[in-house]
Amino acid sequence: MSFRYSASSVDDVVDDYFVDKLGEEHHHHGEVYGCYCSAMSWLSLEIMKVLGSSLGVGCSHFRHFFAGNDSIMRLNYYPPCQRPCSLAAAGAPSATHAGAFIVNIGDTFMALSNGRYRSCLHHTVVNSRVPRRSLAFFLCPEMDKVVRPPGELVDDHNPRVYPDFMWRALLDFTMQHCSRVPCRSLAFFLCPKMDKVVRPPGELVDDHNPRVYLDFTWRALLDFTMWHCRLDMRTLLCSAPVL
């Protein structure tokens, strides 16, 4: 189950969600999860202060950026699985333990830090004996926020890694294209138009540096990734038609 939490809303959007989706009898659950989200929002903003200080931009910069956060709360339930190893390959290795509290860096903060902090692929390790439950709070800026790094993180030695983008645009793209695939959504979001042909400029190809990959369209790579959940471009190019 996933639902929205808004730090700037005057309404209790979490409680309203539970009552609307599950019925009035779940009003208490909505209140409990609303309080939990509020606490997680506060804790996340404290973590933003630490991250801002670590990057030399002051403790208030990122805290202010996320102050009115429009975040996402996700409740996960994983029943016992008889072949847990087959699921472990779905993403990056994870050393999660029962009762652990984990902080992951996501794509948004990777862009805000101009690539200084790296987002991580994450997957959950299940087991064959007992169910697993997890509560994930995704700290998100307000929908109309423009994501750009502070000027202190950009100079001649550290040029811009990502262009400006609206948080709403990245969220919409992730929900549409990357929800089923263990990939870095930012890398796919900042991509060429669908019909663009990907090929290196002629100056990079000669007798000593022959072509490594065939021409392909961005749409072909995206479609292949969405259907096969693979990030290895060499696999695509083994079967891609030459343009």
3-state helix/strand/coil string of 137-189: EECCCCCCCEECCCHHHCCCCCCCCCCCEEHHHHHHHHHHHHCCCCCCHHHHH
**Helix H or strand E segment including 13:** helix 13-22
Q: What is the pLDDT of residue 95?
A: 53
State the average pLDDT over residues 156-161. Answer: 92
Strand partners of residue 198? 216
Instruction: Please state the pTM of the whole predicted model.
Output: 0.73
Identify whether 241 is part of a domain: no
Q: Do residues 138 and 219 share a domain?
A: no
Q: What is the pLDDT of residue 66?
A: 97
Identify whether 94 is part of a domain: no
**Number of domains the chain is built from:** 2
State the average pLDDT over residues 175-192. Answer: 61
CB 214 within 8 A of CB 191: no
* 111 vs 218, residue with greater confidence: 111
Q: Do residues 82 and 143 share a domain?
A: yes
Identify whether 76 is part of a domain: yes
Residues labelled as active-site residues: 132
pLDDT digits (tens, 9 = 90+) for 66-84: 999 999 999 988 888 777 6
Q: What is the pLDDT of residue 192?
A: 66
